[in-house]
Amino acid sequence: MSDKLMQLVGRADPLASYSGSALTVSPEVVLSALLDRYTFTRRERRRRPVLIAAVAAAVLIIGSGVAIADGLNPFAGIGAANHSPSNEDALDPTSITMIKHVNDTFANLAAHTGVPAVSVLPDTARLITELASGRRVYVLSTTSDDLCVLTTPPPNTANDNMRGISCGNPLSKDQPTTIEEEDQVVNGPNATPPLTYGVARDDVTAVSFMANGTEQTVPVTNNVWAYEGQNSADQSLTIHYANGSAQTIDH
């Protein structure tokens, strides 16, 4: 866990329902409870390799404002994001409201803890792909030059739990892809299989993992890979590179 988040957890104690203090319980448990209480959407999401399992994803903002002028580019290695902003990149009002809620949450926590507030910057959004379902995948930055991945629901769906954001370190050779997980909606008109997806560097051509007892290889298109169905990508993921090499990341 980052020093900022450790400070935030260690110095904040808003969980009156807990016996003891935030100092005496697992930081991950505290962050999970904070999300259950404050975040705009509640869903199971993982971000690997990032700072904490994604039940804390929506509030894991450690931030930046595409500070390319300072020599930091949170979109480095993501070719699909390398374009000037256009109308296609503009976020819908509900996504902007979600970001405002997350930013307000951190500002409120910072005011009570002394930890510097960070914010997601909606104006930095770049649309990088649209999945077959119609779901859109964006990348954004924050006031600390972190990489955020935002997804929207398919068009004309009433299930807004399929909208969310997670943030973490920019991609690197050691962290060539994010891993996002969303639990399936089991029943009702919006029932969906679980979705696993990630934003990968330009030199990543595919990822593979076990699903239904066999190895599945998923291509990367516009820096995004996606798979619907139960799988073990969060446990072991093999990265395939354009030069023919491969790297397996075990979590």
Overall number of domains in the chain: 1
Question: pLDDT tens across 179-216, in order?
Answer: 988 766 666 666 667 789 999 999 999 999 999 899 99
As a whole number, mean pLDDT of residues 35-39 equals 39
By residue range, what is the domain housing residue 123? 3-250
pTM of the predicted protein model: 0.74
Structure tokens at 124: 């930095």
34 by DSSP, 3-state: which?
helix
Give the H or E element holding residue 103.
helix 93-113
In terms of average pLDDT, the best of 26-30, 107-111, 194-198 is: 194-198
Question: pLDDT tens across 141-166, in order?
Answer: 999 898 999 999 888 776 666 788 88
The band of 110, judged by pLDDT with boundaries at 50, 70 and 90, is: confident
The residue to which tokens 């988040």 are assigned: 5
Sheet order of strands, 224-228 included: 180-182, 195-199, 224-228
Question: pLDDT tens across 46-60, in order?
Answer: 443 222 222 233 333
Query: At 167, which amino acid appears?
Result: C
- Return the closest-CA partner of residue 30 out of 4, 10, 1: 10
Contact (Cβ atoms closer than 8 angstroms) between residue 211 and residue 224: no
Backbone angles phi, psi at 207, to 5 degrees: -130, 155
The answer for 145, left when phi > 0, alpha when psi is -120 to 50, beta otherwise, is: left
As a whole number, mean pLDDT of residues 167-179 equals 91
Q: How far apart are CA 21 and CA 198, in angstroms?
A: 36
What integer pLDDT is reported at residue 67 of this predicted model?
37
87 by DSSP, 3-state: which?
helix
Give the H or E element holding residue 100.
helix 93-113
Q: How far apart are CA 145 and CA 66, in angstroms?
A: 6
